[in-house]
Chain A
């Protein structure tokens, strides 16, 4: 039977109670790569951006983020978060979205790199595009992935989908 790429592994749709984080555990080791696709808005107030923290196997990650808003761009090295999503200070019902790609996540010979592309926009004047390179400095296969709201909870209808991709 032909491989279906990508294959949906798991889905989370946040309910009315919100969520402080979304944690994918016991990730099958039967794919070549993983892709996490999410649409997130948080309850944070006082800022139109909320950082999304990423944890792999309950361990920390490091990132280099490039962020641009149409008139300027900035880049910085950081640890533990890869970009930003919309908050309660943004236009109602606007969500930030991003995709994270984890190649060779079962490889136990190398550290695990990942890439992120995302957008955080306000359906008004504010709009950011983000590109991030990341590293999980461990040779362990990735078995769990957690995304945390750092400044607030994820609101209802935030979603996260984990896909598996096979090269054979």
Chain B
């Protein structure tokens, strides 16, 4: 892991130091949660798209034209 860049805004001094164990743990926790959130959002998006496709297929099977289906689903 690269160093932390630290800027003292009072003095303007810039220093670098290794990450602390606490900082590493916080970054790993944020990464894990971000991955989980992303997976959940992707799954929800796919479920919505799948449901829409299934609904269109059922409407088509009932005899609606493509224009009529589009009018209902737009």
Taking Cβ atoms with an 8 Å cutoff, the residues of B that contact A are 1-12, 14, 16, 19, 23, 26-31, 33-34, 37-38, 40-41, 44-45
Contacts and interface: CB of A to CB of B under 8 A. Distances in A.
A20 interface: yes
Contacts of B4: 19-23
Contact of A10 (B2, B3, B9, B45): B9
Contacts of B2: 17-20, 153-154
Contacts of A53: 26-27, 30
Interface of A: 9-12, 14, 17-28, 49, 51, 53, 55, 60, 67, 72, 74, 76, 78-81, 84, 146, 148-151, 153-154, 162
27 contacts: A10-B7, A10-B9, A11-B7, A12-B5, A12-B7, A17-B2, A19-B2, A19-B3, A20-B4, A20-B27, A21-B19, A24-B7, A25-B9, A26-B9, A51-B31, A53-B26, A67-B41, A72-B45, A74-B44, A74-B45, A76-B41, A80-B30, A80-B33, A81-B30, A81-B34, A150-B34, A153-B2
A24 B11 CA distance: 11
Majority secondary structure, A binding face: strand
Nearest to A79: B33
